[in-house]
Amino acid sequence: MTSSLFHTLNISRQDILSRLSDLDVTSNNLANINTAGFKTSRSNFQEMLNEKLNEGTQLLNTQLMPAQGVLKDSTNPLDWAIQGDGFFSVTLPDGKIGYTRDGQFSLDADGKLVTASGYPLVWDGTIAVGMTDISISADGKVTAKDDKGASAAVGTVKLSRFPNSTGLAGRGENIWLETDSSGAVQAGAAGAENYGTITAKMVEQSNVDISQEMTHMMSLQRSFSMSVKAFQQTDMMISQAINLRKA
């Protein structure tokens, strides 16, 4: 009997930990509801088995939900939004390539196009000192005016996509990384088959559904409370069983 109670205690413990992990994911979604280009994540759980007995569940991974966010008008010519499939590629401090849907770029002191976190955009062009009126076309071609007011092509921004974008791993700062689950990155021209287009003076909003996330959070809180009560009751029963055997 005591062995069975310990089994129940372990299941309750695993359930508590799973609810806490899922709560972290949901809280992160809600915290980024106003983050440009942010994509909702969801928790995937795996059933744990031990000698053919259920041992509760554990968090297997978090899955990116890449649904398109609403596009909002902007007055900044360096606010670029992707309509459709694809990510902007950026260079991270460790030299790796990260991927983001946040197209709110700016020029740093060296004339590089960078994200809000300062990560340089990966593209095949440069913007010379003194150039103004930077713009981008739907197919990713970037133009700017020189100091004489003449318009010139300065490079092209390609988009990156994955066979399974839901398998990308979150790095933080609205950056995602390639994984075995996502498949190898595929770079292509904006507007080409299977690639989205780029729109200037637009910001893609977060795709977080606040009503859905709040409902899920309330459900998690109720489930967590029930798991804690089950754990406490089982622990008390185990203590009573041990005391009876000692008597």
What is the reported pTM?
A: 0.83
pLDDT at site 164: 96
Q: How many domains is the chain partitioned into structurally? A: 2
The verdict on 125 and 164 lying in the same domain is: yes
* Long-range contacts of residues 225-231, Cβ cutoff 8 Å, at least 24 apart: 227/12, 227/15, 227/16, 227/19, 228/12, 228/16, 230/8, 230/12, 230/15, 231/9, 231/12, 231/13, 231/16
Reported as a single tens digit per residue, the pLDDT across 176-221 is 999 999 999 999 999 999 999 999 999 999 999 999 999 999 988 8
DSSP assignment of 85-139: S-BEEEE-TTS-EEEES--B-EE-TTS-EE-TT-PBB--S----TT-EEEEE-TT
Same-domain check for residues 238 and 173: no
Q: Are residues 149 and 60 in the same domain?
A: no
Rounded CA-CA distance 158/175 in Å is 17
Residue 167 sits at the vertex; the CA angle it makes with 164 and 171, to the nearest 5 degrees, is: 130
Same domain, yes or no, for 193 and 164?
A: yes
End-to-end C-alpha distance for the chain, whole angstroms = 17
Tell whether 52 and 78 lie within a shared domain: no
Identify whether the C-beta of residue 2 lies closer than 8 Å to the C-beta of residue 10: no
Task: Please give the mean pLDDT across all residues of the chain.
Answer: 89
Considering the domain architecture, whether residues 78 and 200 belong to the same structural domain is answered as: yes
Range of the domain at 29: 2-66+209-246
Q: What percent of the chain has pLDDT over 90?
A: 65
Strand arrangement of the beta sheet that strand 175-177 belongs to: 88-91, 97-100, 175-177, 169-172
CB neighbours of residue 27 within 10 Å: 13
- Same domain, residue pair 60 and 83: no
The residues near 22 (Cβ < 8 Å, ≥ 6 apart) are: 43, 45, 59, 220
Backbone angles phi, psi at 196, to 5 degrees: -75, 180
- On whether both 90 and 178 belong to a single domain, the answer is yes
How confident is the model over 214-243, as a mean pLDDT?
84
Place of tokens 């297997």: 60
The token duo for 61 is 């991974």
pLDDT in tens, 20-74: 889 999 999 999 999 999 999 998 877 665 555 456 677 777 889 999 999 999 9
Going by the DSSP 8-state scheme, the letter that residue 71 receives in this structure is E
Both 111 and 167 in one domain: the answer is: yes
Encoded tokens for 216: 């899920």
98 C-beta neighbours (distance < 10 Å), count: 25
170, 227: one domain = no
Same domain, 110 and 167: yes
Position 2 pLDDT exceeds 50: no
Neighbours of 30 (CB within 10 A): 14
Contacts of 97 (CB under 8 A, 6+ apart): 89, 90, 91, 122, 178, 185
**CB-neighbour burial class of residue 167 (10 A; exposed 0-12, middle 13-18, buried 19+):** middle
Let me know whether 217 and 182 are in one domain. no
